[in-house]
Amino acid sequence: MASERRFFVGGNWKMNGTKKSVDEIIAFLTKEPLPADIDVVVSPPALYVPYVRDKLPKGIGVAAQNCYKETKGAFTGEISAEMIKDVGAEWVILGHSERRHKFGETDELIGEKVGHALNSGLKVIACIGELLSEREAGKTEEVIFKQMKFIADHVGGNWSSVVIAYEPVWAIGTGKTATPEQAQQVHVQLREWLKKNVSVDVAIQTRILYGGSVNAGNAADLGRQGDVDGFLVGGASLKPDFVTIIKAGHA
């Protein structure tokens, strides 16, 4: 991690949780103070967002896992950025690979959602990443740069409210983590892309997280890479291991 960027650890609970298990997660997150120099954001299913926001100290951020690109209206089943703000949460995850590949969200839609969420005053964890077949075909750069362009086109002057999460799809939920070198290589390419296509300042300041089977055993090695500014953690964010992963920001 480069010293000018605050380490950031996000926990994406996905479609997991009951009132009981949410209370258990809140208990291990609040057992002892978390490092003050690391940003921690957890992302419960939308139904639990207000509950978690009310229970956690303000120092821990809360994110929704998705939202739509309109403020309100006839969009059955959707929630808006304005609603997320209204219940006190600060962040939203957009473009997660499960939204892209299981629910067919396109680069265009994700870009529009990012723009709307930022304009509504939410901060965004914007996810990108290639499929295994794309990596094997040598298309990683092409795919992630295209995803980045659709996001960047909607960010405008709001880069300080954006965190990028590079999550190779083949590493998500598979137990197959990218090596620290593989992660670092792509993060450098992304930073170069930001430099060329946005600005040098944005390239230096924007946090780029790694996601995909991060666990208590591999977090420190990944986090030591100069361009890995934190993690987006799925499965392991439901367990006390998440606290070990957060502390890996100090490794």
Is 173 a residue that touches ligand PGA (CB under 6 A)? yes
Instruction: Pick from 117, 214, 219, 245 the residue near ligand PGA by CB under 6 A.
Output: 214
Least Å from the CB of residue 214 to ligand PGA: 5
> Are 212 and 171 within 8 A, CB to CB?
yes
Q: Is 112 a catalytic residue?
A: no
Mapped to the 3 state alphabet, what secondary structure does 80-143 carry?
Answer: EHHHHHHCCCCEEEECCHHHHHHCCCCHHHHHHHHHHHHHCCCEEEEEECCCHHHHHCCCHHHH
Please count the residues of this chain forming the interface with ligand PGA, following the rule CB under 6 A: 13
The Cα–Cα gap between 42 and 65 comes to 10
Instruction: Pick from 12, 65, 66, 140 the residue near ligand PGA by CB under 6 A.
Output: 12
How crowded is the C-beta side of 41, counted as CA atoms within 13 Å? 25
Stretch that binds ligand PGA, among 58-66, 113-121, 187-195, 233-241 (CB under 6 A): 233-241
Question: Which residue number, 167 or 227, has a Cβ lying nearer to ligand PGA?
Answer: 167
Is 232 a residue that touches ligand PGA (CB under 6 A)? yes
Q: Which residues pair with 127 in a beta bridge?
A: 165
Stretch that binds ligand PGA, among 18-26, 32-40, 195-203, 234-242 (CB under 6 A): 234-242
Is 230 a residue that touches ligand PGA (CB under 6 A)? no
Work out whether strand 60-64 and strand 38-43 pair parallel, antiparallel, or are unpaired. Answer: parallel
Instruction: Pick from 144, 233, 238, 243 the residue near ligand PGA by CB under 6 A.
Output: 233
Give backbone dihedrals phi and psi of 232, rounded to 5 degrees, phi first. Answer: -115, 120
Is 223 a residue that touches ligand PGA (CB under 6 A)? no
Residue whose C-beta lies closest to ligand PGA: 234
Closest CA to 95 of 157, 41, 149, 17: 149
Is 213 a residue that touches ligand PGA (CB under 6 A)? yes
> Are 92 and 64 within 8 A, CB to CB?
yes
Q: Which of 98, 105, 134, 167 is labelled catalytic?
A: 167
Stretch that binds ligand PGA, among 19-27, 30-38, 155-163, 165-173 (CB under 6 A): 165-173
Is 178 a residue that touches ligand PGA (CB under 6 A)? no
Is 212 a residue that touches ligand PGA (CB under 6 A)? yes
Q: Is 154 a catalytic residue?
A: no
Task: Report how far Cα 150 is from the mean position of its chain's Cα atoms.
Answer: 17
The Cα–Cα gap between 168 and 186 comes to 10
Question: Which residue number, 139 or 239, has a Cβ lying nearer to ligand PGA?
Answer: 239
How crowded is the C-beta side of 197, counted as CA atoms within 13 Å? 17
Q: Which residues are catalytic?
A: 96, 167
